[in-house]
Amino acid sequence: MLTIAIIGAGVMAKILATRAKELNVKTLCFAWAKGAIAKDSVDEFHDIDIFDTNRIIDICKEKNVDGVLATTELTVKIASIVANALGLNTSPLEVMGNITNKSWVRNKGKNFKFIKQPFYKEVTNLDEVIKVESFPVIVKPASYGGKRGITVVFSEDEFQGAINYAKETIGTRNKDGIIIEQFLDKGQEYSVESLSFRKKHFVIQVTQKDSSGAPHCVELGHHQPAALTAEMRKKVETAIKDMLECVGIENGPCHTEIKIIDGEIYLIEINARPGGDCITYPLTELSTGYKFLTGIILAACNVFYDPEFYHSEQKFAGIYFISKQTAHLKPLFDNCDEKPWLFQKNFVSEELQEITHNDATHLNSLIYYADKKIDLGDA
With cut-offs at 50, 70 and 90, classify the pLDDT of residue 38.
Answer: very high
Both 176 and 208 in one domain: the answer is no
With cut-offs at 50, 70 and 90, classify the pLDDT of residue 124.
Answer: confident
With cut-offs at 50, 70 and 90, classify the pLDDT of residue 13.
Answer: very high
pTM across the whole model: 0.93
Both 157 and 47 in one domain: the answer is no
Both 169 and 303 in one domain: the answer is no
Assess whether pLDDT exceeds 70 at residue 358.
Answer: no
- Rounded to the nearest integer, the mean pLDDT of the chain is 94
**225 within a domain of the structure (yes/no):** yes
Both 193 and 178 in one domain: the answer is no
Look up the domain containing 343 and give its range: 188-378
Q: 179-215: per-residue pLDDT in tens?
A: 999 999 899 999 999 999 999 999 999 999 998 877 7
- In CATH, what number is assigned to the domain containing residue 249? 3.30.470.20
**103 within a domain of the structure (yes/no):** no
The structural domain count of the chain equals: 3
Q: What is the DSSP string of 276-309?
A: TTTIIIIIIHHHH---HHHHHHHHHTT----TTT
Percent of the chain, pLDDT > 90?
78
Both 68 and 139 in one domain: the answer is no
With cut-offs at 50, 70 and 90, classify the pLDDT of residue 174.
Answer: low
**CA 317, 342, 203: angle at the middle one, nearest 5?**
15
